[in-house]
DNA sequence: GAAATATAGTTACATATGAAACTATATTAG
DNA sequence: CTAATATAGTTTCATATGTAACTATATTTC
């Protein structure tokens, strides 16, 4: 029997990186639409809010680490969220370079509304899988993530 | 025991769409670097070439269908590949709007060189998995793709 | 067989993105 | 204590990307 590890021909549709990319883009686009339609938030803005919903009073740099966003993307998302009043910034007393960020009341309100939408979208996606398959998927993605970024042992 | 389907709290790191996105971006970026360093090709240019390596003399529209690229992205990739001499264009005799695209000798040469690099990158990624896990992954991604884009029953 | 409509592909424009330069504050070395 | 270096975050600039408008050819309708 042929071992897939011996492949010498490339079929794009069977090529894992390609399949991952198409799947991820399809999923992300669908979800981004939900956030945008309901609250006018981009996926980057939402990620920042999501992290602030889990962790109060953290810095932009920490947000970048939690969200896998680069610092420019964080800076822009933070600027727009400050502007729209979803988050607030407070200078750090110990270190003048840092600024502590947190959700405002408005931001918390939006956050509480989006969480169920996001979880619903996730549930909808995994509804195609049994509980066992879902668990498998978690494990497989964990392994792939390690293989793809061996350095980043944070997660 | 808690059923994950009952989640009411959102943890970004456990959120499937987010994990998919980060994984896909990490993988894609690594591979894009390979193509770019070795041949100065973007991932879009490479995808067009990959499809032309599998299917000779197809149109830009068909390339778009095979690669999940929109027509503007295909148009741009095609223009640059014509320019760099990797592909050639021939007007269709039956339909003046269509143009048939195919790899040139140079394009074929590059294609033959990239295929093993691409397959090697894929192998490296899935080397973290057993053969059984790899098969599971294929099945799970198939199901997720269907759930994410129920319309696109092409694949 | 002309007018209306559809399709293939390109161009233009507005916006998003990333890399590098920059500002301001902290820390380290001597 | 001052100079050199590091870090947090922003701005600038060049490029990438998506949407909509456009051109050219085909097809359909009457």
First to last CA, chain A: 37
Phi, psi of B108 (to 5 degrees): -65, -40
Confidence of residue B30 (pLDDT cuts 50, 70, 90): very high
For A13-118+131-148, CATH number out of 1.10.1660.10, 1.10.10.10, 3.40.50.300, 2.40.480.10 equals 1.10.10.10
Which pLDDT tens digits describe chain A residue by residue (155 residues)?
556 666 789 999 999 999 999 999 999 999 999 999 989 999 999 999 999 999 989 999 999 999 999 999 999 999 999 999 999 999 999 999 999 999 999 999 999 999 999 999 999 999 999 999 999 999 999 999 998 876 654 44
Please give the C-alpha separations between residue B58 and each of A13, B74, B84, B102, in angstroms, as whole numbers: 17, 12, 19, 7
Cβ–Cβ under 8 Å, residues A100 and A92:
yes
Confidence of residue B152 (pLDDT cuts 50, 70, 90): low
Q: Does the CB of B73 fall within 7 Å of any strand C atom?
A: no
- DSSP 8-state assignment for residue B92: -
Contact B28 A20 (CB under 8 A): yes
Distance CA B14, CA A119 (A): 11
A55-84 residues touching B, CB cutoff 8 A? 66-68
Of A133, A81, A109, A40, the C-alpha closest to B5 is A133
**Element (H or E) spanning B103, and its range?**
strand B99-103
What positions of strand D are covered by protein, i.e. any atom < 7 Å from a CB?
7-12, 16-20, 24-27
Instruction: Tell me the sheet residues that pair with A33.
Output: none
- DSSP secondary structure, A76-97, as one string: HHHHHHHHTTSEEEEE-SS-TT
Cβ–Cβ under 8 Å, residues A152 and B29:
no
Structure tokens at B84: 């760099």
Instruction: Give distance CA A93 / C1' C30 (Å).
Output: 29
Contact B28 A47 (CB under 8 A): no
Flag whether pLDDT at B1 surpasses 70: no
Closest Cα of chain B to A94: distance in Å?
Answer: 29
Of A21, A7, A6, A70, the C-alpha closest to B46 is A21
What positions of strand C are covered by protein, i.e. any atom < 7 Å from a CB?
7-12, 16-20, 24-27
What CATH code is assigned to B41-115?
1.10.10.10
Of B42, B28, B139, the C-alpha closest to A17 is B28
Distance CA A143, CA A18 (A): 18
Contact A10 B149 (CB under 8 A): no
């Amino acid at each position: 029997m042929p071992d897939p590890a011996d492949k010498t021909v490339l079929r794009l549709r069977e090529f894992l990186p390609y399949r991952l990319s198409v799947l991820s883009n399809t999923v992300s686009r669908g979800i981004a639409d939900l956030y945008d339609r309901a609250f006018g938030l981009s996926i980057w803005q939402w990620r920042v809010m999501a992290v602030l919903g889990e962790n109060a009073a953290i810095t932009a740099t920490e947000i970048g680490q939690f969200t896998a966003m680069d610092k420019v993307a964080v800076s822009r998302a933070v600027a727009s969220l400050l502007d729209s009043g979803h988050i607030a910034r407070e200078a750090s007393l110990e270190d003048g370079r840092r600024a502590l960020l947190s959700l405002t009341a408005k931001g918390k309100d939006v956050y509480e509304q989006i969480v169920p939408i996001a979880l619903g979208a996730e549930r909808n996606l995994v509804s195609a899988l049994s509980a066992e398959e879902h668990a498998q998927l978690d494990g497989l993605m964990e392994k792939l993530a390690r293989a793809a970024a061996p350095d980043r042992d944070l997660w």
